[in-house]
Amino acid sequence: MESPLAALLWRSLRVYQVFGANTEVGKTVFTTLLCKSAKRNWKDENVSFLKPVSTGPLSEADDQCKACVASNVPQRHILGQLMLIMYSHIKKFTTGINHHTLLQYGIPVSPHTAALASGEPIPSDNSVLARCRDHASERAKAGKGWLFMETAGGVHSPSPSGTTQADMYTPLRVPVVLVGDANLGGISQTIASFEALRIRGYDVQSIMLFQDKKYQNYLYLADYFLQKYNIPVMSLQEPPARLKSEARDVEAMKEYYEQRTEENIVGTVLEHLDLNHTKRLDRLESMAQKAHETIWYPFTQHEHLPAKDIMTIDSAYGDYFQTYNTKSQEHGALQASFDGSASWWTQGLGHANPQLTMAAAYAAGRYGHVMFAGAIHEPAMTLAEDLLRGTGNSRLTRVFYSDNGSTGTEVAVKMGLRAARVRYGWGPSEKLGVIGLKGGYHGDTIGAMDCAEPCIYNENIEWYEGKGYWFDYPTILCKDGKWQISAPEGMEQELGRPQDFTSLQQIFNVEAREKKNDHKLYERFITEKLRGLRAQGRKFGALIMEPIVLGAGGMAFV
């Protein structure tokens, strides 16, 4: 199992990820401008550039490539030779910037294709993210400053493993500067890229693009993003056309960068990013106290919950929350915290699963929220059919939908009580109870609480009336390497002495245990109890129990 990663957030280091709406939209140019402007406006701070994955372009290295081949350098080593003699764009046009590339592939193709062609082991997504975090952590320790992470290609360009970048980088929770597409079709491409990031939980804080005078995408996009999302769009004059002379081309680009930096338009973008960084941290720091004063929590004894014990969650991915680190922030303001309860048993597939996210977004886009009484729609019909087909039980012919567990419990109990009343001819005034297990929990609404035995959680509730009988039961434990079934203390005579088993499979081999008459003792115990209750005049209309594992009652293995 791969180690969880903390998201990239430090008070000392402002980290921003530069995504492009497409290839050839100017990501590197804008990232260079961000670096130069940050160094100009924050002279005493560190400015760093990180390219996690880079490919080609070989067109800039034809001479070097020919030289390598001519000198019989093995093909698999050409990339290393190229990197020794090529200057990166950032290094060429900036000074005083810490720049680093984690993975460099020499073929100007998508990273997943380049990684396969390299003949080297393909790094996992987690290993790439871990290296990103290690590098960011080093830069944070170096002192206050900026770190700009430039992605490769477009938002959905694949990573070396084949996972799209939008999916791969999600766990890092780095706020985004999106470089828009100024070309024909670029309006659609930019909006689609933004939505792809937004739906995955990225915070796009600024959009930058060139001012193509012919298509003028920047004018439309500026209005669009300001009105719909209050996101500023910054546009700049396009760089000069490429010159045949490399020396003259470099000089032209240097002049372009100096002019744009002096204009300080990019500086205003950085001020916006700096302010957002501070606001984010201040909000995370203050939320626990504000929640303590404002929020009424479910299932919580508030007198035992000081503000310092309230967990502030910035985001969640997979099996982990990203929670605010209230102690030492040397390793970052956020830490990965294991979601041990799967957020109360709702996240079996993990948080932020991209397929579930897309399914939810599709449903929201197609329906929003529509009434269900006396109506039907495709998702509800398909799910009902799948559920009934999956049970393989011909007695089950209908599906009832509920939006929460407590309501589901109450509806099921209502159905059970009414069915029993009709079956046995009981009148509406007769009191009916439920049969359950001690320590059971079925919800926190009044009706659901009445289905559980009296305990510290419900006996002080004004309207609570335990309406049922709750059986004690044997439990399964693993003790000294052996699986054991044992009865509650004092009930060995009714439920049997402890039995040892070599495995759980042996315990769940019901047919074999029935042949040994293991069930007879339980049947007799239950039958005698029910007869006694019936003799007292009590009536029961439903059985409610948690199968196999008693959850909230202490994770008892029944």
Sorted by where each starts, the structural domains of the chain and their CATH numbers stand as 13-70+84-238 (3.40.50.300), 402-557 (no CATH)
Question: What is the H or E stretch that residue 111 is in?
Answer: helix 111-118
Neighbours of 93 (CB within 10 A): 21
Quick one: which of 498, 495, 558, 496 has its CA closest to 528?
495
Q: What is the pLDDT of residue 278?
A: 98
Q: How far apart are CA 207 and CA 25, in angstroms?
A: 12
What DSSP line would sit under 320-360, residue for residue?
EEEEE--S--TT-SEEEEE-TTHHHHT-TT-BT-HHHHHHH
- In this structure, what token pair is assigned to residue 359? 């399914």
Cα separation, 226 vs 382, whole angstroms: 40
Paired tokens of 470: 């709750």
CB-CB contact of 317 with 352 (8 Å)? yes
**Whether the Cβ atoms of residue 22 and residue 282 lie closer than 8 Å to each other:** no
Question: Tens digit of pLDDT for each residue in 96-148?
Answer: 999 999 998 888 888 999 999 999 999 999 999 999 999 999 999 999 999 99
In the chain, the amino acid numbered 302 is H
Question: What residue has token string 């990663």?
Answer: 5
pLDDT band for position 183 (cuts 50, 70, 90): very high
Rounded to whole angstroms, how far apart are CA atoms 12 and 332? 9
Tokens coding 298: 């479910």
Which one, of 201, 115, 129, lies nearest residue 158 by Cα? Answer: 115
Torsion from C-alpha of 459, 461, 465, 471, nearest 10 degrees: -40
| pTM (2 d.p.) | 0.85
Q: Residue 30, Cα to own-chain centre: how many angstroms? A: 29
The DSSP bridge pattern shows strands 540-543 and 549-550 to be unpaired
Angle between helical axes of 265-294 and 246-263 (0-180°, round to 10) = 50
Task: For residue range 275-289, list pLDDT tens digits in order.
Answer: 999 999 999 999 999
510, with CB counted inside 10 A (0-12, 13-18, 19+), is exposed
User: pLDDT tens, 42-58?
Assistant: 999 999 999 999 887 53
Q: Which DSSP letter does residue 44 get?
A: T
pLDDT above 60: residue 86: no
Q: How confident is the model at residue 531 (pLDDT cuts 50, 70, 90)?
A: very high
Cα–Cα dist 45/144, whole Å: 6
**442 in helix, strand or coil?**
coil
Q: How far is CA 168 from CA 126, 175, 337, 389, in A?
A: 8, 14, 19, 36
For the cut 50, the answer to whether the pLDDT of residue 156 exceeds it is yes
Tell me the pLDDT band of 16, cut-offs 50, 70 and 90.
very high
The enclosing H or E element of 548 equals none
pLDDT at 56: 73
What are the start-end ranges of the E strands in 42-175? 46-55, 98-105, 145-150
Q: Answer yes or no: are the C-beta atoms of 46 and 63 closer than 8 Å.
A: no
Q: What is the pLDDT of residue 71?
A: 34
What 3-state class would DSSP assign to 476? Answer: strand
The model's pLDDT over 293-348, given as tens digits with 9 standing for 90+, comes to: 999 998 888 889 999 999 999 999 999 999 999 887 778 999 999 999 899 888 88
479 pLDDT exceeds 90? no
Rounded to whole angstroms, the Cα distance separating 410 from 443 reads 9
Name the pLDDT band for 12 (thresholds 50, 70, 90): very high
